[in-house]
């Protein structure tokens, strides 16, 4: 069974440019998470989806970040415009509806903003 797929793995852009990250969760997982991880820190939750619905986006900087999960499967996280401080690893994870047996994480996208 395939794990959580993310693309691209690496992205380098200049500040003020837009960027998008894509995530395909494990089949059958209703819950999808986007995290941001800065160097030396643990992952920080940005947004959580239950099927198509964003049920927790309190940590998402809404002035420049947006996310969508069409049809309750794949998800896209967008930053527009990117700032220097957005350089980080963006992780996608999925899980069954509850948190039992944990989340399954993708490899992440390493974003560098120059």
Partner 1 sequence: LAKTTQPISMDSYEGQEVNITCSHNNIATNDYITWYQQFPSQGPRFIIQGYKTKVTNEVASLFIPADRKSSTLSLPRVSLSDTAVYYCLVGDVSGGSYIPTFGRGTSLIVHP
Complex with partner 1: residue 82 or 92, whichever CB lies closer: 92
Residues of this chain that interact with partner 1 (CB under 8 A) are 4, 31, 33, 35, 40-45, 48, 50, 55-56, 91, 93, 97-108, 110
Dist CA 103 CA 59 (whole Å): 19
Complex with partner 1: residue 14 or 56, whichever CB lies closer: 56
Dist CA 26 CA 64 (whole Å): 28
Complex with partner 1: residue 19 or 43, whichever CB lies closer: 43
Longest dimension (CA), the chain: 40
Complex with partner 1: residue 43 or 79, whichever CB lies closer: 43
Q: Provide the minimum distance between the beta carbon of 94 and partner 1 in the complex, in angstroms, as a whole number.
A: 11
Dist CA 106 CA 61 (whole Å): 22
Q: Provide the minimum distance between the beta carbon of 49 and partner 1 in the complex, in angstroms, as a whole number.
A: 11
Q: Provide the minimum distance between the beta carbon of 84 and partner 1 in the complex, in angstroms, as a whole number.
A: 22
Q: Provide the minimum distance between the beta carbon of 16 and partner 1 in the complex, in angstroms, as a whole number.
A: 27
């Amino acid at each position: 069974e395939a794990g959580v797929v993310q693309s691209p793995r690496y992205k380098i852009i200049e500040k003020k440019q837009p960027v998008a990250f894509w995530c395909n969760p494990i089949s059958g997982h209703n819950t999808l998470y986007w995290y941001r991880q800065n160097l030396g820190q643990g992952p920080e939750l940005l947004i959580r989806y239950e099927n198509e619905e964003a049920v927790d986006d309190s940590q998402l900087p809404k002035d420049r970040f947006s996310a969508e999960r069409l049809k309750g499967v794949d998800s896209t996280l967008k930053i527009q415009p990117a700032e220097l401080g957005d350089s980080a690893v963006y992780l996608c994870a999925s899980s069954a509806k509850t948190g039992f047996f944990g989340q399954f994480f993708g490899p992440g996208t390493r974003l560098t903003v120059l």
